[in-house]
Amino acid sequence: MSDAKVKKFMEGIIKKNPGEVEFHQAVLEVAESTIPYIEKNQKYKDTKILERIAEPERVIMFRVPWLDDKGEVQINRGFRIEMNSAIGPYKGGLRLHPTVYLGLLKFLAFEQVFKNSLTTLPMGGGKGGSDFDPKGKSDNEVMKFCQSFMSELFRHIGPDTDVPAGDIGVGGREIGFMFGQYKRLRNEFTGILTGKALNWGGSLIRPEATGYGCVYFTQAMLEAQGDSLKGKVCTVSGSGNVAQYTVEKVNQLGGTCVTLSDSSGTIHDPKGIDEKKLAFVMELKNVKRGRIKEYATKFGCDYYEGKRPWGVTCDVAFPSATQNEINGADAKVLVKNGCTAVGEGANMPTTPEGIKVFQDAKICYGPGKAANAGGVATSGLEMSQNSQRLAWTREEVDTKLHGIMIAIHAQCEKYGKAGKYIDYVKGANIGGFVKVADAMLDQGLV
């Protein structure tokens, strides 16, 4: 009965959003968990709440013209998807990557609604970005792009309206350029972006938060099974913000990370990426903006050109690069090699076939909207500090982040526990859904 409902619901989604395959994938995963629940709760059914949640409140699409270092005109396309504001201002990152298009950002904005609801903080869901490719661009070109991008975006955002942050291709440098342009246009110093630098309104722990939070969540999944990260061999994909701080926290909790990757290939260091090697990665990626291959040259380990890390034997996997980076075959290899937990630092890194493999094997599988919610949660804490014009200590923010990840785990358990097994996909989807749906019902036909 629910299967037929899901099928019919998805036919409507596909017809209304043609070609947006990542959006269809994200909506299907939520529909499969929530439709059986909605069927048992008449108030959500009669009011077509899921149909309403799947339709963005507002989509903004705009031209971003800028001049490159040769004086040539470049034109990119900018977006902001304001998906849902039932429980707070729109909140979510900006992605700069050549693959960005409407459907990709709609998937990310849709995921963000449930993720932000799970954080326990008052944040709605949004996402934005552009098809601009920061790779190989000079600082001056990145600044020109960011200034042009904000010259349109500024009229749509505000500390009580919509608060963007970083995502792939957007870190401290880009947030700085965008904040500077907003301030010139509005003559206001307010918390309109998170991920700001510490000396002008940023929060301690925000750079670390997604990686740290993902490791805290994964530790909680293991503890629920009477296990822990201590002594575990971990594979990590990506080598950007999320991957770097995942390695740092795994090291602190007594595990060993043996891989990192970028879009060119994977390094495999069986001795482990210790603090000193991680400092090299941070300098390489955040300052020199080089390729991960240089790690293998520097430390004399293997480099697998064009490969992802999933063939390397591990106890725990942390996909921290991008969507659909673990397919069904990768998942089978991970399970066959003895992997017992997957903590998703990235958004939707596992394909539906991959998720099925993990769930059938009954390993601990923490989907992105739960496992990587620590980043946006700490953005929420940055917003609170900005509103108060106060800055909390590192310990205060880290303690709050840890508490939030434990609370998210508890929500997943509440809605996803079946005997000893916890279905974190079901738990996160229903847990995230209920709060948003109830707020929408309270607010009338919105």
Q: Does 165 bind ligand 2IT (CB under 6 A)?
A: yes
Q: Does 218 bind ligand 2IT (CB under 6 A)?
A: no
Total residues binding ligand NDP (CB under 6 A): 23
Of 50-58, 219-227, 305-313, 372-380, the window that binds ligand 2IT (rule: CB under 6 A) is 372-380
Residue 12 exposed, middle or buried by CB count within 10 Å (0-12, 13-18, 19+) = exposed
- Rounded to whole angstroms, the Cα distance separating 292 from 269 reads 12
Q: Which listed residue (113, 118, 150, 346) binds ligand NDP by CB under 6 A?
A: 346
Residue 345 touches which of ligand 2IT, ligand NDP, none (Cβ within 5-8 Å per kind): ligand NDP
- Rounded to whole angstroms, the Cα distance separating 258 from 247 reads 9
CB 115 within 8 A of CB 432: yes
Please report the sign of the dihedral spanned by the C-alpha atoms of residue 283, residue 144, residue 379, residue 61: negative
Nearer to ligand NDP, 22 or 315 (CB): 22
Tokens of 134: 């920061």
Q: Does 350 bind ligand NDP (CB under 6 A)?
A: no
- Rounded to whole angstroms, the Cα distance separating 47 from 217 reads 34
Pairing of β 125-130 and β 73-84: antiparallel
- Rounded to the nearest 10 degrees, what angle do helices 394-416 and 424-442 cross at? 100
Of 141-149, 219-227, 256-264, 429-437, the window that binds ligand NDP (rule: CB under 6 A) is 256-264
Whole-number minimum distance, CB 194 to ligand 2IT, in Å?
5
Q: Is 134 helix (H, G, I), strand (E, B) or coil?
A: coil
Q: What share of the chain is helix, strand, coil (3-state, %, to 5)?
A: 50, 15, 35
Whole-number minimum distance, CB 109 to ligand NDP, in Å?
12
Whole-number minimum distance, CB 347 to ligand NDP, in Å?
4
Greatest Cα pair distance in the chain: 64
Position with the least CB separation from ligand NDP: 240
Q: Does 239 bind ligand NDP (CB under 6 A)?
A: yes
Please report the sign of the dihedral spanned by the C-alpha atoms of residue 191, residue 196, residue 201, residue 203: positive
Active site residues: 127
Element (H, E) at 79: strand 73-84
- Rounded to whole angstroms, the Cα distance separating 234 from 256 reads 6
Residue 113 touches which of ligand NDP, ligand 2IT, none (Cβ within 5-8 Å per kind): none
Map the footprint of ligand NDP across residues 257-286, applying CB under 6 A: 262-264
Residue 194 touches which of ligand 2IT, ligand NDP, none (Cβ within 5-8 Å per kind): ligand 2IT
Altogether, the residues listed in the chain come to a count of 446
- Rounded to whole angstroms, the Cα distance separating 286 from 242 reads 12
- Rounded to whole angstroms, the Cα distance separating 13 from 137 reads 37
Tokens of 409: 């785990």
Whole-number minimum distance, CB 126 to ligand NDP, in Å?
13
Position with the least CB separation from ligand 2IT: 93
Q: Which listed residue (240, 343, 427, 432) binds ligand NDP by CB under 6 A?
A: 240
Report residue 412 CA to chain centroid gap. 17
Map the footprint of ligand 2IT across residues 337-366, applying CB under 6 A: 347
Map the footprint of ligand 2IT across residues 91-110, applying CB under 6 A: 91-93
- Rounded to whole angstroms, the Cα distance separating 145 from 65 reads 8
Q: Does 436 bind ligand NDP (CB under 6 A)?
A: no
Element (H, E) at 268: strand 265-268
Whole-number minimum distance, CB 439 to ligand NDP, in Å?
23
Report residue 9 CA to chain centroid gap. 26
CB 374 within 8 A of CB 346: no
- Rounded to whole angstroms, the Cα distance separating 370 from 234 reads 19
Residue 138 touches which of ligand NDP, ligand 2IT, none (Cβ within 5-8 Å per kind): none
Whole-number minimum distance, CB 136 to ligand NDP, in Å?
11
Q: Does 379 bind ligand 2IT (CB under 6 A)?
A: yes
Residue 92 touches which of ligand 2IT, ligand NDP, none (Cβ within 5-8 Å per kind): ligand 2IT
Q: Does 130 bind ligand NDP (CB under 6 A)?
A: no
Residue 144 touches which of ligand 2IT, ligand NDP, none (Cβ within 5-8 Å per kind): none
Residues 6+ apart with CB under 8 A from 70: none
DSSP 216: H
Q: Does 376 bind ligand 2IT (CB under 6 A)?
A: yes
Whole-number minimum distance, CB 280 to ligand NDP, in Å?
15
Q: Does 128 bind ligand NDP (CB under 6 A)?
A: no
Q: Does 321 bind ligand NDP (CB under 6 A)?
A: yes
Q: Which listed residue (32, 141, 162, 167) binds ligand 2IT by CB under 6 A?
A: 167
List residues near ligand 2IT by CB under 6 A.
91-93, 112, 115, 165, 167, 194, 347, 375-376, 379
List residues near ligand NDP by CB under 6 A.
166-169, 171, 210, 238-243, 262-264, 320-322, 345-347, 372, 375
